[in-house]
Amino acid sequence: DPTNGIESLTESESWSLRDMRLRDSTIYWDNDGTFANLVDNTDRFYTNGIGIELSFDPNLTSSLKEKLAPAGAWDDPRFGFGVALKQRIYTSEFITQSNPPADDHPYGGYLYFAFSFQRADDHKHDHFGLDLGVVGDWSGAQNMQEFIHSAYPDQDDPEGWDTQLANELAINFNYERTWRSEKAELWGIEMEMLPALGFEVGNVAIMGHARMTLRGGHNLPNDFGPATFLGHKDHTVQGNDWGEGDFSFYLYGTVGADAVGRDIFLDGNTFASSRSTDSEPFVARASVGIVLRYKRLYAGWAQTFMTERFESQPSGQTFGSVVLGYSYQF
């Protein structure tokens, strides 16, 4: 019966969320003080970021793969999905003041789900992201910071949360294209360059960015750069794409710049009246870091330096980042 063949083909080419397979779980932590920040110990502006993320192999059908990455433009493409729950905390420079200066960084929190779809081949990587969440008291940032400061000794109590941004539903779309050079080798060290361009748009932020990453090490992974809390992780990478052997590592340096059209944490709420300050139209940043992998475990640390984000900011900012993860597919 010819209809049996058609039914079999339809069944084999169907796809659902149940077909996805878990690849990795990753934990993120950014902080401008404590042991994460090796250069400075502050408690101001962008002061804390925490998150947990799951990466999935979507296990797409061949027809879906062809539609999402046409053969003429993509060579043997791979795909990935990601979902994360993240929280950011922003404060004034003067956290012991209940009424900070009007031109200082407003208090604000952001709690959101970050959904992403990615496609990649050996030389390029596309990231499509959608962030959905809440800004303001609903974010739980005040409770989180007060809890952390009560748990650690010799911490000042944050007094200015009554001036934080108003509650607002948040939606932001982001896109980034990353390219990867051919591997070079110098004195036995593998090296790559990873330039990237991207943008985000929504009521949280409107900005474009450009950056360049240079990394070098042993057994470089088949990915497109380190996982970062304020950026993203490469979800298209299989667990065994880290090269040969149980151990891998690399050092990296990144330089980049943002062109800022809107930043809700500086410009204030979209609809409600709130604190605000004059944001800078351009922000430069640089990071240095290390990524290690042993079998299924991976870890990373980075130090990031940023120029002033708002006009009355007395100086730039630096913060440390810690990433811990586990790969399930080998």
Sign of CA dihedral 49, 52, 58, 59: positive
- The pTM of this model reads 0.92
Q: Which residues contact 19 (CB under 8 A, 6 or more apart)?
A: 58, 59, 60
213 three-state secondary structure: strand
- The Cα–Cα gap between 178 and 148 comes to 36
CA geometry: angle 313, 318, 324, nearest 5 deg: 140
DSSP 8-state class, residue 153: T
Helix (H) or strand (E) segment spanning residue 13: helix 2-13
The secondary structure of 44-60 as a DSSP string is -EEEEEEEEEEEEE---
Residue 109 region, left (φ>0) first, then alpha (ψ -120 to 50), else beta?
beta
> Could you say which residues of the chain have pLDDT below 50?
2-12
Number of domains in the chain: 1
Answer yes or no: are the C-beta atoms of 286 and 214 closer than 8 Å: no
pLDDT at 13: 65
Say which amino acid occupies 129.
Answer: G
Residue 112: what pLDDT?
99
- Helix, strand, coil share of the chain (percent; to 5): 15, 50, 40
CATH number at residue 8: 2.40.128.140
Give me the domain span that covers residue 263: 2-327
